[in-house]
Structure 1
Amino acid sequence: MRSLILLGLVGLAAQLVDGSLGMAYGVTSTTLLLAIGTNAAAASATVHLAEIGTTLASGLSHWRFGNIDWKVVGKIGVPGAVGAFAGATFLSNLSTEFAAPIMSIILLTLGLYILVRFTAFGLPRGNLGKPLRKRFLAPLGLVGGFVDATGGGGWGPVGTPAILASGRIPPRKVIGSIDASEFLVAIAASIGFLVGIGSENINFAWVGVLLLGGMIAAPVAAWLVRHVPPRILGSAVGGVIVLTNVRTLLRSDWVDAPGGVQASAYIAIAVLWAAAVAYSVREYRRDQENESVEALEQEARRREAVEEASTA
């Protein structure tokens, strides 16, 4: 019962992060499942089955708040589903001993990307209003879907930064569109895992509690995306993912690091993580101050223009 409650809380927290940041539900949940000894394919299958419900709830919530660009959803979602089915089939055919470290490496890479991306760069805002082409979105969806299924997460970490980097649609619509299109990815990956490993290898009680936690959090996350600084949240979540997956790798048969090495690695990661979060907080405050100054300057110029027009 304690494990089920914990998983439910993880599902809730992961969906709060995912709905606010456009990524990390699968990466966060799969990381925990691997940490408690679930095999790689079963962990990814469990998360993707839960995501059918959480992504549906998240998509509906984002739609309600006007956070979705349906053209983007269509152009990226279908290729993403194809890639997810292929990834699930691939992972299902790997041995457990081989698959677990590979998944941890994928998750660690994604965690590092999230940490560095949001700490160093924040959210780009140029090129707003320009259309996103299918020749960009289709390959992105295919790769994102494959990585998502094989890594137990990755749709958001691959898709969200790539579309954000284009700067062509507002950040909240990037996040809403990625969350909505992930519904198709979750369905395709789940079908692939059910065919590949069979339903008897999936703990449906775990699926249920992850789903429940995620569905509770989905509407809150859709609201939070308008209010929580993504830069700070990205740094915080990226650090959690990096620390957890480094722990899994250091304890794996591939590395089997001594206790002293493990402790030193954890301390070093924790220090860098704290520094990254502190830097993100500082840069966010600086950006807010700059935006306030720019707004005041624009208002002053507007008033001067009005006064000049009235005296002319």
Structure 2
Amino acid sequence: MRILLNAFKKEGKPTKVKRAGWLAGAGGFLDSFGGGGWGPLVTSTLISKGRSPKYVIGSVSLTEFFVTMASALTFFVILGVSHLGTILGLIVGGIIAAPLAAELAGRLPVKKMFMGVGVIVLVSSIRIIWNSLDKVFFR
């Protein structure tokens, strides 16, 4: 909801994000441990704090490259190259998706990006909560 509210707020000077190290650590841990989390956790948190979506998308994408590289190197060392097809699929997907995301971030107006990100975060969060409640109460 906070991201959607930022879409209709007058643009002011962005505030400094406090405890960015903790945010980066939690995002990196979830990304490596659970297979995802850097983008959803870090991007939505930074945007909800009022940072420009263009700045957030660019900086998160750049940092995610290094997080993913560190994770991939760790997996290569521990597991070897037994899942090379999966790894190559992820690499090709990233090569295709990254320039498209950068192009969209550069062309879309900030207000529309705030609204789009807010809706996506709300829908995915509601879906996760619904599935969790479904597992707890109905199974």
Pick the TM interval, shorter chain: 0.7 to 0.9
- How far residue 62 of structure 1 moved from its aligned partner, in angstroms, is 2.2
* Match of residue 109, structure 1, among 113, 116, 123: 123
Distance, in Å, in 1 between the alignment partners of 2:103 and 2:97 is 10
Structure 2 counterpart of 1:52? 65
Cα distance in structure 1, aligned partners of 2:124 and 2:114: 15
Tell me if the contact between 2:17 and 2:46 (Cα under 8 Å) persists in the aligned partners: no
2:50 counterpart (34, 37, 42): 37
User: 1:20 Cα deviation (Å)?
Assistant: 1.4
- CA spacing shift, 1:99–1:5, aligned 2, 3 Å: closer
**CA deviation vs aligned residue, 1:228-250 (integer Å, no higher than 9, x gap):** xxxxxxxxxxxxxxxxxxxxxxx
Give me the identity figure in percent.
20
Report 1:1-312 matches (<5 A): 3=16, 6-66=19-79, 69-115=83-129, 119=132, 279=136
Looking at structure 2, the residues matched to 21 and 49 of structure 1 have their Cα atoms a distance apart, in angstroms, of 20
Inter-CA distance 48–67: structure 2 relative to 1 (3 Å threshold): farther
Q: What SS does the aligned partner of 1:65 have?
A: helix
Deviation at 1:73, TM superposition (A): 1.5
Cα root mean square deviation, aligned: 2.7
Q: For structure 2, list consecutive stretches of 5 or more residues without a partner in the other structure.
A: 1-15
Alpha-carbon distance in structure 1 between the residues aligned to 2:130 and 2:23: 23
The letter of the residue matching 1:66 is: L
Q: CA offset at residue 111 of structure 1? A: 3.4
Cα distance in 2 for partners of 1:113, 1:72 equals 27
Q: Partners of 1:55 and 1:86 in 2: how far apart?
A: 19
What letter is aligned with 1:70? L
Q: Which amino acid aligns with 2:41?
A: T
C-alpha offsets along residues 279-307 of structure 1, whole Å, 9 cap, x if unaligned? Answer: 39xx8xxxxxxxxxxxxxxxxxxxxxxxx
> How many angstroms apart in 2 are the aligned matches of 1:21 and 1:70?
19
Structure 1: 5+ residue runs without aligned partners? 120-271, 284-312
May I ask how many residue pairs the two structures share in their alignment? 122
Q: TM-score, normalised by structure 1?
A: 0.35
Q: Give the TM-score taking structure 2 as reference length.
A: 0.72
Structure showing greater radius of gyration is: 1
Residues 21 and 112 of structure 1: is their aligned pair in 2 closer, same or farther, counting only changes over 3 Å? farther
